[in-house]
């Protein structure tokens, strides 16, 4: 009987044009994971691992990627992008969130209610963005910390991977 173990942040999903890899894998685990395409594992072994440590997570590896390294050219050839969460900038005086509000109708009574999204979530508001690795690496680690950057996944073009 096959059993599937779900580990948050360790996944590999493919659609017709893109390969999505969760960033909680260590680089060494990626080499051993059968569900990750062989071609990416080969690129990782031959080109990325000589300049990285196998015990680093993909998240750490990408977070501290130096824009001057040759690795960035490899990722550019793969048309690699990262999906990141960023803290939204505060626009108002509500705790931890933006002042984006909306008035919703109240069943035709003529009175509206004020609905503030940050009041309901109880925590900071994040926005999700997709950045190229060049854009992401150009951001210094101090700015990433200040903006509350959290990497979700690495996205690689399957066509670029095929012709690499």
In this prediction the pTM is 0.75
From 47, 15, 18, select the one nearest 164 (Cα to Cα).
47
**For residues 149 and 137, is the Cβ–Cβ distance under 8 A?**
no
pLDDT one-digit tens code per residue, 108-146: 444 444 444 444 556 778 899 999 999 999 999 999 999
pLDDT one-digit tens code per residue, 14-49: 999 999 999 999 999 999 999 999 999 999 999 999
User: Fold for domain 12-88+126-163?
Assistant: 3.30.465
Q: What is the distance between the alpha carbons of residues 66 and 152, in angstroms, rounded to a whole number?
A: 19
The structural domains of the chain, with segments of one domain joined by +, span 12-88+126-163, 89-124
φ/ψ (deg, to 5) at 71: -55, -35
Mean pLDDT of the residues in the chain: 82
Direct distance between the N- and C-terminal alpha carbons of the chain, in angstroms, rounded to an integer: 37
Angle at 27 between CA 144 and CA 155, to 5 degrees: 60
């Amino acid at each position: 009987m096959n059993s599937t173990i779900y580990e948050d942040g360790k996944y590999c999903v493919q659609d017709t044009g893109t390969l999505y890899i969760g960033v909680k894998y260590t680089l060494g685990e990626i080499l051993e994971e059968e569900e990750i395409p062989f071609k990416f594992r080969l690129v990782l072994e031959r080109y990325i691992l000589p300049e990285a440590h196998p015990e680093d997570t993909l998240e750490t590896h990408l977070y501290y990627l130096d824009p001057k390294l040759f690795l960035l050219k490899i990722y550019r050839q793969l048309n690699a992008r990262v999906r990141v969460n960023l803290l939204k900038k505060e626009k108002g005086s509500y705790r931890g969130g933006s002042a984006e509000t909306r008035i919703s109708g109240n069943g035709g009574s003529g009175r509206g209610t004020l609905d503030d999204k940050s009041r309901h979530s109880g925590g900071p508001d994040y926005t999700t963005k997709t950045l190229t690795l060049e854009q992401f690496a150009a951001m210094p680690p101090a700015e990433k910390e200040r903006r509350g950057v959290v990497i979700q996944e690495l996205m690689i073009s399957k066509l670029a991977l095929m012709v690499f």
